[in-house]
Amino acid sequence: SQKIEQNSEALNIQEGKTATLTCNYTNYSPAYLQWYRQDPGRGPVFLLLIRENEKEKRKERLKVTFDTTLKQSLFHITASQPADSATYLCARTIGGSQGNLIFGKGTKLSVKP
Amino acid sequence: GAVVSQHPSRVICKSGTSVKIECRSLDFQATTMFWYRQFPKQSLMLMATSNEGSKATYEQGVEKDKFLINHASLTLSTLTVTSAHPEDSSFYICSARAAGGHRTDTQYFGPGTRLTVL
């Protein structure tokens, strides 16, 4: 079965540093990997989507990579701010671009001032 | 854009009662709506997928007679937890995929409903 693993439950960094979160998947490469932000008691908010044939995708201070050899996606937040503190979820699609999503458990990021 | 609302945001009920949760796409029509459940420190787990006007497709292990889903229109889906028990206490989140006008390759999530069954 396809799985998504975010092995770090929590990550604490200092303001201004780059946060790097890891997402690993099993079995065959998904067509898409997606990253969401979830604040406590709230639903996830879509951040970025990266396709299998894309190595990197950027959006403002966010960068996502997709390495099909390592079966891994990295999510970077540069110049991190306390407002970036949240849980970040990685998700893979199954069954194509409009398929269902399988989520990882998330990594809780805390950015200290 | 692409706003999804849920009502209520929190509900506390007695064991054995039924609870209905509404999910609405406010500024777009949704081809498909999804219902998830999330326990503390766990992933979002997909419960069911529904398309407007047709029966929902339930994931393995989810009882369709306990979690009734009605997708009456392209902007509204409801989840009814029937005869709720304390183990049904969880965070229920809906999402919607846009028919057009927004990205169709991702899902837009509601703010979630915290259900507590006493």
Task: Give pLDDT tens digits for B67-77.
Answer: 999 988 899 99
Would you say residue A96 has pLDDT above 70?
no
The whole-number pLDDT of residue B54 equals 83
CA A2, CA B42: separation in Å to the nearest integer? 17
Per the CB < 8 Å rule, is A9 touching B41? yes
- Which chain B residues have a beta carbon less than 8 Å from that of A4? 43
Would you say residue B105 has pLDDT above 90?
no
Interface test with B, best of A45, A100, A102 (most B CBs within 10 A): A100
pLDDT mean over B96-104: 81
Length of chain A, in residues: 113
Residue A98 contacts B where some CB pair is shorter than 8 Å: yes
CA A81, CA B109: separation in Å to the nearest integer? 24
pLDDT mean over A79-94: 95
Q: Please indicate whether residue B30 or residue A64 has the higher confidence score (pLDDT).
A: A64
Would you say residue B59 has pLDDT above 70?
yes
Tell whether the torsion through CA atoms of A71, A64, A53 and A89 is positive or negative. positive
CA A35, CA B42: separation in Å to the nearest integer? 16
**In what side-by-side order are the strands of the sheet with A72-77?**
A4-5, A19-25, A72-77, A62-67, A56-59
- The 10 Å Cβ neighbour count of residue A95 is 9
CA distance B4 to chain A (A): 10
Would you say residue A10 has pLDDT above 80?
yes
